[in-house]
Amino acid sequence: MANFKVDTRLASLLGENYRSTEHALKELVDNAWDAEASIVEITLPDPFNKADQPIIISDNGNGMTTKEVEEDYLKVARDRVLQKGSRTEKKNRLVKGRKGIGKFAGLVAANSMILETKKEGKLTKVSINRDELKKFTDLEVADLPLSFSDCNENENGTTITLYNLNQNLAFPDPEKLKQILFVEYSRENDFKLLVNGEPIEIESLTGEVFEESAHLPNAGFVRYRFIITDEKKSLKYPGLIIRVQGKVVGKPFYFGLEDSEEIPQKLLKRVYGEVIADELSEENVTANWNNIIENSLAYAEIKEFIATALDDRLKDKFKAIINLQKARIQKLINKKLRNLPEHRRKYAELALDGILRKLYTEKADRVEAIISLLLDGLEKDEYWTVLKSIEEASYSDIHLFADALSEFGIVDMIMISKQAQNRLRYIDYLEQIIADASTDEMTIHKAIETNLWLFGSHFTFLNSNQSLKRIIEEKVTQKYTGNRANKRPDLLLTQDITNRYLLLEFKRPSITINRDHESQAIKYRDDLRVYIHDKPIDIWVIGGKVDPKITSHNQNQNVKLISFTELISEARTQLIWLLNQLKR
């Protein structure tokens, strides 16, 4: 039998946990890295027959003797760095495991863990069972089945097998695990990772992979391989590295494209890959292999070859992103364009493309807000004057044409800024109305009915036409007559371009909205089903306050309760953000 040897830091360290089973398995890979393995193979269960299959992590690292298992591995919270230094002995790797609790990572994914390790002709085997450990308040008295036997003296390495997988957690996802391991290890030398027999490579990230090779006069055979990832999270150390004869030279970079004004920095940081230039001589590399000598002819060839390819691929990718973003809001754009004279629409399209290029990483609602303001502004005479001068500018006089385009940009910003500032003034006036104790529902209704942009950029495109007004009038008149007339609700029914309806119910600013108001609004929606068949109807109930016991988490689906103060605050925040963007 064997026992854990517990360090006094155990209590604090075991409080840490892993975000997912994939991150727990990465901890076991880190242990293989520290053991100087060159190959790590991970076998995950078949998703169609996973209950009876184990997870296996096997490496060809240094392995451990029976004594090392007992005195080092089973010592919980052992600080490996304090004892042996921050680098491994043979391969000089920076040690990743430092807290001595990585052995517990396997028990996140499974109830039982078996460690089999080979070194110096001995195979040592130890079993750890989570349920058994829970029976002991002191880990030092928990017996762990341990055995050893002879093996080939030339065999080294460790295999961890996880049985009885945790049924309360999602089973490890191979693709997610590949991505986690890729970010950490893809650029390491002499360390190969396989998940279910497939190596961890660029394809482990989601995105488009590009590769090409060429024979350059001075640099010889050069090959690049990179991905423009679709991942929203930032990559760790993005860019391209140069690898010469298997060694990484310098840090990842972008071959000069970091200074390009045509490619957004956020898009550039989604590039990940490497350039293989094995035929470079040592004369082209600094003595410590930290950098390529920049004024060498070979490097100049490589830089031009890679920069051209990277520039082309990024511009194509950026164009595709812009087109996709435009397609998402095309219905909204088309509705606005229909309000413009035909001869102005092509200029509107030009302006829209410019906005989408600048704001492609912004949230959709913010982009829609700016587009709405722009297209509203295109109906103004100031815009048309400038657009006409652009049309009249001769392409042969490039300076005149450039001046006209510059003038458009200035007026563009001025018009959007003016409208945003005017809307802020409107909000100030609206606040005065709401602050007045005598304000009733009808007053609020009149003030807001034609200013639906208050509810967000999407609502700019809502329409309350005569047909919808008639539906509300008929419904209210039929139900609230005689003595009930003074209780008739103030409702506004609107419709967007996707045929989705929004029912607004206005309450006095002095009223606190509660569950009764919510239920009543839902009944109004039910009544409207007579007129509107099989179309979704969202509900907003707006009043002075919302009962604090009601939160967004316990509201009914498609029903929103909001105070006038909150509504105005959100609208003001959007407009101030827009003005700050224009100031930049």
pLDDT tens string 388-431: 555 555 444 555 555 555 555 565 666 677 778 888 888 888 88
> What is the DSSP secondary structure assignment for residue 230, as one 8-state letter?
-
Pair 366, 574: CB distance under 8 Å? yes
Place of tokens 């193979």: 41
**Could you tell me if 562 and 422 lie in one domain?**
no
CA atoms within 13 A of residue 63's CA, in its CB half-sphere: 22
Mean of pLDDT over the chain: 78
**Could you tell me if 41 and 175 lie in one domain?**
yes
Of the two residues 223 and 87, the one the predictor is more confident about is 223
pLDDT above 50 (res 509): yes
Q: State the pLDDT at residue 80.
A: 61
Place of tokens 């990483």: 361
pLDDT above 50 (res 10): no
**Could you tell me if 337 and 373 lie in one domain?**
yes
Among 199, 226, 241, give the residue marking a domain's end. 199
What is the distance between the alpha carbons of residues 28 and 198, in angstroms, rounded to a whole number? 18
pLDDT tens string 248-262: 788 888 898 888 877
pLDDT above 80 (res 45): yes
Among 199, 224, 242, give the residue marking a domain's end. 199
**Could you tell me if 142 and 37 lie in one domain?**
yes
pLDDT tens string 101-160: 667 778 878 888 999 999 999 999 998 888 887 776 666 667 788 898 999 988 999 999
Among 179, 199, 219, give the residue marking a domain's end. 199
pLDDT tens string 522-558: 888 887 777 777 778 888 898 888 888 886 655 667 8
Neighbours of 415 (CB within 10 A): 20
Domain-located, residue 223? yes
When pLDDT is averaged across residues 7-33 and rounded to a whole number, the result is: 67
**Could you tell me if 492 and 426 lie in one domain?**
no
Q: Which residues pair with 537 in a beta bridge?
A: 501
Pair 374, 352: CB distance under 8 Å? yes
CATH number at residue 478: 3.40.1350
Nearest CA among 345, 346, 371, 348 for reference residue 358: 371
**Could you tell me if 247 and 379 lie in one domain?**
no
**Could you tell me if 407 and 517 lie in one domain?**
no
Domain-located, residue 304? yes
Q: State the pLDDT at residue 405.
A: 57
**Could you tell me if 195 and 221 lie in one domain?**
no
Domain-located, residue 166? yes
Domain-located, residue 534? yes
**Could you tell me if 154 and 210 lie in one domain?**
no
Q: State the pLDDT at residue 12.
A: 36
**Could you tell me if 154 and 36 lie in one domain?**
yes
Q: State the pLDDT at residue 478.
A: 65
Q: Which residues pair with 253 in a beta bridge?
A: 240
Of the two residues 52 and 465, the one the predictor is more confident about is 52
Our count of domains for the chain comes to: 4
pLDDT grade for 386, boundaries at 50, 70 and 90: low
> What is the DSSP secondary structure assignment for residue 463, as one 8-state letter?
B
Q: State the pLDDT at residue 15.
A: 35
Q: Rounded to whole angstroms, what are the CA distances from 513 to 102, 284, 485, 510, 561?
A: 53, 74, 21, 10, 7
When pLDDT is averaged across residues 269-294 and rounded to a whole number, the result is: 81
Domain-located, residue 320? no
Tell me phi and psi for residue 244, to 5 degrees: -120, 120
Q: State the pLDDT at residue 477.
A: 62
> Tokens for 138?
């002191």
When pLDDT is averaged across residues 228-251 and rounded to a whole number, the result is: 79
Pair 219, 302: CB distance under 8 Å? yes
**Could you tell me if 137 and 160 lie in one domain?**
yes
**Could you tell me if 235 and 121 lie in one domain?**
no
Nearest CA among 56, 60, 37 for reference residue 172: 56
Domain that holds residue 559: 436-581
Domain-located, residue 319? no
Domain-located, residue 317? no
CATH number at residue 239: 3.30.230
